[in-house]
A = this chain, B = another copy of it.
Amino acid sequence: MKRTHYAGLVTEAELGQTVTLQGWVNKRRDLGSLIFIDLRDREGIVQIVFDDSISKDMFEVAESLRSEYVITVEGEVILRDENLVNPQLKTGKIEVKATSLTIISKAETPPFAIDQNDDISDEVRLKHRYIDLRRPKIQSTLMMRHQITSAIRRFMDQDGFIDIETPVLNKSTPEGARDYLVPSRVHDGSFYALPQSPQMFKQLLMVSGFDKYYQIVKCFRDEDLRADRQPEFTQLDVEMSFVDEEDVMDFNERLLTYVMKEVKGLDIKTPFDRMTYDEAMAQYGIDKPDTRFGMTLQDLTDFAKTTDFKVFKETAENGGLVNAIVVKDSADQYSRKDIDKLTDFVKLYKAKGLAWMKVDEGQLTGPIAKFFDEAKQQKLLTQLDATHNDLLLFVADKKEVTQTSLGQLRNHIAKQLDLIDQEQFNFLWVTDWPLLEYDEETERYHAAHHPFTSPKDSDVELLQTAPEKAYAKAYDVVLNGFELGGGSIRIHDGKVQQQMFKALGFSDEERDAQFGFLIDAFKYGTPPHGGIALGLDRLVMLLSGRSNLRDTIAFPKTANASCLMTNAPSEVSAEQLEELGIQLEDRKEK
């Protein structure tokens, strides 16, 4: 017997029809002469009813059904009694009066119930991921993931982009994060590396004249994982020729508004808001501002110089930054103890301390209030636009520390006070990034994005004189405080590319060994080009309202990069290692 409908899609439209359904028993309820089954498939749940119109044998089979049995049911679609209508279900107005029942597969009691929502440990969920994936919340997330990728592909195809696959078995380059390596069996002592991104390949496709490229592609980083990282992740990778920053940003806005409309039914206004990297840091203390709420950083450095409060005054006079955030109408919600916790929080971001005052009927209170006379207090209140019951929080420190610690505190308090409208989707461009950043550990400059990012036209000469001052043709797109993706216009002049590698401290030999083929390629007629990469897992997470990247991935890895279901990674045979010509160090004995 063949299925005629998905269980979850049977509605009043099928009234009176005979349907054949196949799916899982979600629940069975016995009411004496009646048995009700909730039958589940990927589209949802429908109620099946067995009554005395079927044979005694079949009724007994129905009585034997247990959760997660797989069955075939044939029956007639009938209306439910009005008082039994379930408005929660798409199928809630009808039920299927069974005329035939077959058990396809029996089921043992699963390790956790499908409709159980909480208190299942991640470990149990991941070990039995095939059960976890039955849960409607995860299933709908993966179905939304499909809708998102499908919408992206439709848009890209219509917009003239060509989907081109780039290799997974690549060459290892020491730039960037740690590579996953793959030993070669054929080439003694050699290794492939899994791609961290197809960056050079997509640039070469521009050199080849493909003009507009895209790929939804797996990338890999062998990093110590945080809660929101996976060793393999998926990105929408895009590159375009003969374009400038505006072209790439415009394309990306059209893409994202299309996806938001198709998947969420929402109209997102364009152009997206924009701010420069320096503005983002000054106002939000972070390079990916969440603009769904205010409480921006206020600069009090000039004011601080005029005060007698030593911490402020000295910081301001020694080139540091004194900033504040104003937590509106919340002073009464923060006890000293609460504020001590906020102080501990900013210390995580290297701030030496957190100063605070409260506004009480136009007066400032708190331990440091005494350092500000009436005139200063009023000036401060005016500058901060602070009113009764506001909590003022100050950091006075080195520029980066002040901005970062207050920026993080701003996000922290917004969550604490539930200031964020979860229904809002705030897209934002952060532009004009510094080209380089200084890495204190290795004591050299690193590319802020990657070494192929073009400096601003006016900053090209700086590459040879003061590269740390150069700004880049780079842009990040931010959604609700998450970096959704980033890109840049690339260097397409071999000479400039060589200057860039020099600025990054590469010797000519290192450069040629690792990137020689790209510099070579640029000799043969290279169009200006640029692009962007969007994190698909994160986009799915934000659009589906999940808080964990893992829930957007069918078979994710744990924080230590293992699969609890298959037990990957695992030991392999001596023959396999022998063929690859590698030996294991006995590290445990060290």
User: Using a CB–CB distance below 8 Å, which chain A residues touch chain B?
Assistant: 2-3, 6, 22-25, 40-42, 68-70, 104-108, 110, 128-131, 133-134, 139, 142-143, 145-146, 149-150, 153, 157, 162-172, 174, 178-194, 200-201, 204-205, 207-211, 218, 220, 222, 231-232, 234, 241-242, 492-493, 517, 520-528, 553-555, 557, 560-563, 565-573, 576, 579-585, 587-588
Give A200 to B568 CA distance when docked, in angstroms: 14
Contact A222 B185 (CB under 8 A): yes
Q: Given A555-B167, A581-B585, decide whether A209 and B40 contact each other with a Cβ distance below 8 A.
A: yes
Contact B190 A134 (CB under 8 A): no
Contact A527 B70 (CB under 8 A): yes
Contact B70 A169 (CB under 8 A): no
Q: Which residue of B lies closest to A522 (CB)?
A: B105
| Distance in Å: Cβ of A115 to nearest Cβ of chain B | 13
Contacts of A164 in B (CB 8 A): 142, 145-146, 554
Give A538 to B65 CA distance when docked, in angstroms: 47
| Distance in Å: Cβ of A448 to nearest Cβ of chain B | 24
Which residue from B70, B168, B220, B517 sits with its C-beta under 8 Å from A525?
B70
| Distance in Å: Cβ of A193 to nearest Cβ of chain B | 8
Contact B187 A69 (CB under 8 A): no
Known: A42-B211, A169-B232, A181-B580. 14 other contacts (CB 8 A): A22-B242, A130-B521, A131-B524, A133-B209, A139-B209, A142-B164, A167-B557, A169-B561, A171-B563, A174-B573, A183-B183, A183-B582, A187-B561, A191-B570
Contacts of A139 in B (CB 8 A): 208-210
Contacts of A582 in B (CB 8 A): 183, 582-585
Give A524 to B193 CA distance when docked, in angstroms: 39
Contact B581 A587 (CB under 8 A): yes
Contacts of A143 in B (CB 8 A): 162
Contacts of A232 in B (CB 8 A): 167-169
Contacts of A186 in B (CB 8 A): 560-562
Contact B569 A165 (CB under 8 A): no
Q: How many copies does the complex hold?
A: 2
Query: Which residue, of A24, A210, A561, has the highest number of chain B Cβ atoms within 10 A?
Result: A210
Contact B525 A105 (CB under 8 A): yes
Contact B525 A208 (CB under 8 A): no
Give A579 to B525 CA distance when docked, in angstroms: 41
| Distance in Å: Cβ of A187 to nearest Cβ of chain B | 5
Q: Which residue of B lies closest to A68 (CB)?
A: B525
Contacts of A179 in B (CB 8 A): 572, 576
Q: Given A146-B164, A169-B232, A172-B576, decide whether A181 and B183 contact each other with a Cβ distance below 8 A.
A: yes
Contact B210 A133 (CB under 8 A): yes
Q: Given A181-B580, A524-B68, decide whether A192 and B107 contact each other with a Cβ distance below 8 A.
A: no
Contact B527 A105 (CB under 8 A): yes
Give A22 to B244 CA distance when docked, in angstroms: 14
Contact B208 A130 (CB under 8 A): yes
Contacts of A208 in B (CB 8 A): 129-131, 133-134, 139
Contacts of A200 in B (CB 8 A): 566
Q: Which residue of B lies closest to A515 (CB)?
A: B566
| Distance in Å: Cβ of A533 to nearest Cβ of chain B | 16
Closest 4 CB pairs of A and B: A107-B525, A133-B208, A171-B568, A68-B525
Give A41 to B212 CA distance when docked, in angstroms: 11
| Distance in Å: Cβ of A243 to nearest Cβ of chain B | 9
Which residue from B171, B205, B523 sits with its C-beta under 8 Å from A554?
B205
Give A527 to B23 CA distance when docked, in angstroms: 8
Contact A106 B169 (CB under 8 A): no
Which residue from B24, B169, B576 sits with its C-beta under 8 Å from A209?
B24
Contact A553 B191 (CB under 8 A): no
